[in-house]
Amino acid sequence: MLNRIKKCALSFKAAFSGIFSAVNDEAHLRFHLTAAFYVIILGLIYGLSAAGWTVIILLISAVISAELLNTAIEAVCDETNPEYSPLIKIAKDAAAGAVLVLAIGAVVIAVILFGDTTRLYASAVFVISRPWLLILLSVSVIISVVFTALGPRGILRLCRKKKK
């Protein structure tokens, strides 16, 4: 029994290691995570229904999972054949295309979910009428741009350079 628990814990550790590695190395994944963050914020302000939240959570999970699979496919392709290969290019392009198709579908569904212009306007008024929330969102945009562009390792490197 204890062996099973240990094996399960190691599996979770490996999975989280893969996620963190991909977040550090893949700007597209960081972009999708940032987009998911803002969709969640909008959902909270907009007042999504339980069904709406279910759809949003499924879409975010699907897009992030697809991006992780794309990263895995690219890593395997690069490791098995570091030189240019037309077949490897097809595999990598198809994997990236799968993420793109899913992301476009997610955007279309989000437009449908957030399509009530009256509620959208009310959400905008809610934010605009609270300066502290506007400031918080503005700061989060700056942090998100830096996170997406540099990633956690890049931010740490930047912080270390400034300390010296």
**Cβ within 8 Å of residue 67, ≥6 positions away:** 22, 26, 28, 29, 32, 99
Backbone angles phi, psi at 84, to 5 degrees: -65, 135
How far is 106 from 38, CA to CA, in rounded Å? 14
Helix axes 131-163, 117-128, angle to 10 degrees: 70
Written in H, E and C, the secondary structure of 142-153 is HHHHHHHHHHHH
Residue type, 48: L
Does residue 67 have an active-site annotation?
yes
Residue type, 79: E
Q: Where are the alpha helices (DSSP H) in 47-85?
A: 50-80
Q: Are 55 and 115 in contact (CB under 8 A)?
A: no
The residues that are catalytic are: 67
